[in-house]
Structure 1
């Protein structure tokens, strides 16, 4: 064996050397596998850790840092830090925040910061390989030296590589510290292996860029759906927050269902994509309300359209009272007994006051209207008054067109005190005064209620038109099922329990509980917890909501956690869930009954 051969060892030895041919072949194979792994990793923190740890492993480096360019592109923020000797592991999946500020990319005067090796690599988009930081003169390592004095560490070799994306933009910097040989001695970073690290960072930059783009797209999508939900809530001051609170209840109940291991919940679980699918559905469950007219959504009294028409009705009562007063005065002038005239006038006033009180009370819609009430409304409404001014003047073009199709009689004209007149028929709505005042319960007519119910049809239509990816295909189903009932009497599709998934049934309960406890509805007082749970128990018995889910809703304490965070303390009254649990025969599982 020659002296040269003896110095470098045998061919087999050279193949097994960390930087020999055999190791190089293994490294290429490893880079291919790593590229596949990088493209498959979905977790941002794990991806960054994978990049840094693989780079450390290739060079057997003692430490390393991964930086990303800040959003404003003025600095390099610390993302991952590792150092074996000092037992440092910060950032990423560790949950430990890195306490250091970003490395500035520019000086106060706006010039490029070329003193720091990481920022210089960013600006030059070229790797830097430093054998010994203590001998390097082109960069300022004073901070590194100060760190070494504090810790007793010795920072020596540095390899700093830019992470360049497909647009040839530097999105981050990878820095390795102190390469080590097989015996653990610090050595310079082998230049022959630098191409491997650069190839790795190139792959990593593309993978990281793709993931950041996905994250940005998701952030944009989340902002859009929350903006839509907020717009719907803002559209009506009476339902503000509904679209934002329903997702909270949905999440709490879905978590409880995932944790339960009995009955219909055995084996039920949601992966990351399915959780996001449910999240989107919950936020968009009422997106169809964008087409519902405000006056229908906000209709707080029976005569309300754009404004409350009780003011018009009250003016007519004022006219009748004035007519009664004029009639009294005319009778006195004609020589009739003044006392008799005054008594008749007072009787007319008292009667009008009582009748107006009845009409105004009916307009509020707080009490059930029976047949006798409706008959009395018609009797009151049949009274007449005389109109002396032209109804066809001062109208908008649309109103004028409707009046032209059904011209009113010219003044003076006798009209009913409460009327169902031709001009009250507007599109699909009947705005007739008697028609609306005769609503038996609540403030909505049949066609207005149908229009509000129609929002779920519009929701499904809107969502089905969106090109959801395969993993989000059930968003329309989840969002569109929250008004279905377990017995098939719900809307819009009349689905039964067997037709609905657990997430869709969860959303139905979330929507109902939020609506019952909401304090921002114009047509009802906010209900207490006990009142709400009592109503939901009846709904359970009538098979309108899922009994197993309502049982879980009670036993898991979802109602309590939501109430503590979102309800007014006055609504949270003492509750024993045993009073509201579904009848055992309604449950699909024995474990729930026990």
Structure 2
């Protein structure tokens, strides 16, 4: 073998080695395929090349990429495909294997085809190639078509090269057997790499489907929480993108790779997965007395019994003593007091405002009213459990129910930490499990301080709160306006609840407005005066 041939062999081995390394690093399948085809062209000094992939139903070879140096053509791959490049059926109308088209022949027979003069062979139908030549004024002469088979000898695609050119004269020459051996080695490597990439994508799709499956389960239990599970990841990514763009403050060097972005997004999708075990009556508790139904109606019925008994008592007195203005006024006063107390309890049951101390005392006083049940037993108007619920200072949850709700985050962490996350997703439990922590260490479940939390967890905390403030579909509250939500969030940035740096970015880069325009009801989007937002100093 000549010195030049040795040099050519060395160059080809170098191409294969470089490609082998690249196959492990390139994650974009289209970029990977272009690299494979370009390497095949370089090894054989081919003027052009085409790559086909097997369709999902295994019935066609779908055109994927075309390169041609002389014509300066590049179709498919990372660019748009040409309408002229059509799919090739692997079977004929009679269901027999298609052996007429050379790429289909190579695919069906799983063997390479090396032709010195294309149009001199009667073995194949080159109608498509003739049309290409006529359209572009080109002449396909030598041809090498190689099936791409993975480690299980399953067909992945077909790689086709045209017109090998001599290194110095650039005259078209046949593809040598050495060319064929090298391309067969290359396509074998490439097929395995493509299969691995597709397997990774399939596993990612499976993972995302399982995540959606969990969220569907939560959604079925609580449609309100289900929407929250979908919106928080979107707002999280908006704020993460804004944080990457900032060129000032403590986060000016914050950056995430595509892999890290995917990790954060997935963590956002899973941030409330522990709620799948939270009882529905706690998640959906719209009023203080709600369980399966709102028990305020039972209290209404007791008030009616009180009214009935009082009226009967005074009517008996009047029957015995005769008509009396004093008795009539006493009856009227009692009935008015009962109605006022009933109205008060109905309002207290909503839990929309924090109760004052005198309101709590009033609940305790009303509870001591007595009534007589059907068995003739004297009962207090409210039992201990009803008093406990109606005396909730704010919101609709008792301390025990609040613990049940809060436990969802501990369970989220436990669930996520049991999974064997790959290296590029290993931070998901920390990201998802940290969105209820606070900068001042007063959050839960671990009481972490700001510096102990990742930026991603702090981002998710803001997204979680803002979505909850603006959500209009919660059973226990109405959605707040944009300006009101920003005022509350601003106060949180001042009292150590959320990261003030991230809040500054949230406002300055108008992440709140981007989110509002996409996901909030138009009636909630009011005019925002950023100078009035607590904790935010508008740049001059």
For Structure 1 versus Structure 2, the TM-score category normalised by the shorter chain is: over 0.9
Cα distance change of structure 1 residues 453 and 141 upon mapping to structure 2, 3 Å threshold:
same
Q: 1: CA distance between counterparts of 2:362 and 2:241? A: 53
1:80 aligned to which of 50, 60, 65: 65
- The answer to whether residue 45 in structure 2 is matched with residue 60 in structure 1 is yes
User: Gaps spanning 5+ residues in structure 1: where?
Assistant: 1-10, 389-410, 421-431, 585-591
2:524 aligned to which of 546, 551, 571: 571
Aligned to 2:226: 240
Q: 1: CA distance between counterparts of 2:501 and 2:337? A: 56
Aligned to 1:96: 80
For residue 98 of structure 1, report the CA deviation from its aligned partner. 4.1
- The answer to whether residue 172 in structure 2 is matched with residue 208 in structure 1 is no
Alpha-carbon contact 1:115-1:139 (below 8 Å) kept = yes
Q: 2: CA distance between counterparts of 1:500 and 1:63? A: 54
Query: Which segment drifts farther, 228-237 or 559-568?
Result: 228-237
For residue 497 of structure 1, report the CA deviation from its aligned partner. 1.5
Alpha-carbon contact 2:52-2:61 (below 8 Å) kept = yes
The equivalences for 1:301-450 within 5 A come to 301-324=287-310, 326-327=312-313, 336-337=322-323, 348-388=334-374, 411-420=375-384, 432-450=385-403
Q: 1: CA distance between counterparts of 2:137 and 2:322? A: 117
Q: 1: CA distance between counterparts of 2:99 and 2:323? A: 109
The equivalences for 1:148-159 within 5 A come to 148-159=133-144
Q: 2: CA distance between counterparts of 1:544 and 1:368? A: 20
1:504 aligned to which of 457, 469, 475: 457
Q: 2: CA distance between counterparts of 1:237 and 1:275? A: 27
- The answer to whether residue 501 in structure 2 is matched with residue 532 in structure 1 is no
- The answer to whether residue 12 in structure 2 is matched with residue 23 in structure 1 is no
For residue 364 of structure 1, report the CA deviation from its aligned partner. 1.0
For residue 494 of structure 1, report the CA deviation from its aligned partner. 1.5
1:477 aligned to which of 430, 451, 460: 430
Cα distance change of structure 1 residues 494 and 96 upon mapping to structure 2, 3 Å threshold:
same
Aligned to 2:214: 228
Q: 1: CA distance between counterparts of 2:136 and 2:89? A: 24
For residue 438 of structure 1, report the CA deviation from its aligned partner. 1.0
Aligned to 1:277: 263
Cα distance change of structure 1 residues 329 and 577 upon mapping to structure 2, 3 Å threshold:
closer
- The answer to whether residue 178 in structure 2 is matched with residue 171 in structure 1 is no
Aligned to 2:505: 552
- CA deviations on 1:28-56 (whole Å, 9 max, x unpaired) are 34323432332333222221111101111
For residue 109 of structure 1, report the CA deviation from its aligned partner. 4.4
Aligned residue-pair number: 538
Match of 1:415, SS? strand
Q: 2: CA distance between counterparts of 1:481 and 1:229? A: 19
Alpha-carbon contact 1:79-1:98 (below 8 Å) kept = no
Match of 2:417, SS? helix
Cα distance change of structure 1 residues 262 and 157 upon mapping to structure 2, 3 Å threshold:
same
Q: 1: CA distance between counterparts of 2:153 and 2:286? A: 60
1:492 aligned to which of 445, 454, 458: 445
Match of 2:114, SS? strand
Aligned to 1:423: none
Aligned to 1:426: none
Q: 1: CA distance between counterparts of 2:493 and 2:376? A: 58
- The answer to whether residue 127 in structure 2 is matched with residue 137 in structure 1 is no
TM-score by length of 1: 0.85
Q: 1: CA distance between counterparts of 2:519 and 2:61? A: 40
- The answer to whether residue 109 in structure 2 is matched with residue 121 in structure 1 is no
Cα distance change of structure 1 residues 106 and 334 upon mapping to structure 2, 3 Å threshold:
farther
Alpha-carbon contact 1:230-1:241 (below 8 Å) kept = no
Query: Which segment drifts farther, 222-231 or 327-336?
Result: 327-336
Q: 1: CA distance between counterparts of 2:46 and 2:28? A: 24
Q: 2: CA distance between counterparts of 1:318 and 1:120? A: 88
Query: Which segment drifts farther, 347-356 or 281-290?
Result: 347-356
Q: 2: CA distance between counterparts of 1:330 and 1:110? A: 98
Q: 2: CA distance between counterparts of 1:513 and 1:583? A: 16
For residue 328 of structure 1, report the CA deviation from its aligned partner. 6.0
- CA deviations on 1:418-449 (whole Å, 9 max, x unpaired) are 112xxxxxxxxxxx111101112111111111
Aligned to 2:407: 454
- The answer to whether residue 180 in structure 2 is matched with residue 194 in structure 1 is yes
Alpha-carbon contact 2:504-2:536 (below 8 Å) kept = no
Match of 1:241, SS? helix
Q: 1: CA distance between counterparts of 2:133 and 2:321? A: 116
Q: 2: CA distance between counterparts of 1:342 and 1:72? A: 87
Cα distance change of structure 1 residues 351 and 86 upon mapping to structure 2, 3 Å threshold:
same
- CA deviations on 1:129-184 (whole Å, 9 max, x unpaired) are 22333233232221221222222122232211111111111011111122222322
Q: 2: CA distance between counterparts of 1:324 and 1:349? A: 8
Query: Which segment drifts farther, 310-319 or 504-513?
Result: 310-319
- The answer to whether residue 420 in structure 2 is matched with residue 467 in structure 1 is yes
Alpha-carbon contact 1:246-1:514 (below 8 Å) kept = yes
Alpha-carbon contact 1:118-1:175 (below 8 Å) kept = yes
Q: 2: CA distance between counterparts of 1:150 and 1:218? A: 42
User: Gaps spanning 5+ residues in structure 2: where?
Assistant: none
Q: 2: CA distance between counterparts of 1:190 and 1:98? A: 30
Q: 2: CA distance between counterparts of 1:342 and 1:128? A: 110
Match of 2:223, SS? coil
